[in-house]
Amino acid sequence: MAFTRAEKGLMVMAPHPKVKNARNSAGGLLHDAIKSAIQLQQHFNETLQQWRNGTWPVNYTTERPASATLSLRQYTAARWRDKLVIRRSAPGFFDGAPDEKRTRISYGIHLHTILARITYRDDVAASLEKMVFEGLITEQEKGEVFGQLQQLLEHPIVGPWFEPGWEVRTEVPILLPGGEENRIDRLLLKGRQAVVIDFKTGSPAKADQRQVVAYMDVLRQMNFSEVKGYLLYISTGEVVPVPPGRPKVSRQRDASQLGLDF
């Protein structure tokens, strides 16, 4: 085995066999192989009883050059107060019931994470186990997150979003008019139908609907004829259908149209 593992060189020392053509030991077998093979005999020194082929490489040491020093003639600097903004309070940290509120926010984030990961309802168990393995949640939190997730999936509007029948895309990058890039949390596709779903962990705001309307407009420009949009507020389970904005349907697609990165 050792003869097949050498990379740069191999040195073998073995006792000279007492009996000619002896093969009952590794040394005897090696000696007999050298003596009986013409190609090996030419490298064998009878006087020294030494077989040698090739040259042993010599390692030369080189002196490392002294590290050159670099002197800075100019050093650009600026006042850190002009470049750094410091917030002296954490939003929500000093509220009346901080522990309860932070726990609620934490579970909302966990739910948002798993909703963005699963394709269908059957993926829930495996996704929760993966989150535990990644250290995102504990075994104790897994049961709580599973219970809250089941409540969301029992919602008559939310449940069908996670049933087979749709082509599902999650965390879809989208380029909005004006060059802003964002991500659709969940996009359902079927033929020329499209359903945009945005998950929110905070309180409802007018900007939430404007964001979904912008997504819907881009999908219409991509020739999806039936486009719907929804907001799901995870902390309350509230589902808000988003009314469409002004339709912007293109009859033909051209190179200037916006697109989604799947």
For residue 260, pLDDT over 90 is answered with no
pLDDT digits (tens, 9 = 90+) for 118-160: 999 999 999 999 988 888 888 888 988 899 899 989 999 999 9
Task: Compute CA 22 distance to the chain's CA centroid, rounded to the nearest angstrom.
Answer: 62
More confident residue, 66 or 253: 66
Confidence (pLDDT) at 226: 92
46: confidence class by pLDDT, cuts 50, 70, 90:
confident
Instruction: Answer for the pair 28, 17: CB distance below 8 angstroms, yes or no.
Output: yes
239: confidence class by pLDDT, cuts 50, 70, 90:
very high
End-to-end CA distance of the chain: 51
pLDDT digits (tens, 9 = 90+) for 3-17: 777 777 888 888 877
pTM: 0.54
Domain ranges of the chain: 12-51, 98-153, 166-242
Instruction: Answer for the pair 107, 101: CB distance below 8 angstroms, yes or no.
Output: no
What topology is assigned to 166-242 in CATH?
Answer: Lambda Exonuclease; Chain A (3.90.320)
More confident residue, 255 or 14: 14
pLDDT digits (tens, 9 = 90+) for 163-188: 998 999 998 888 887 778 888 999 99
* Residue 176: strand, helix, or coil: coil
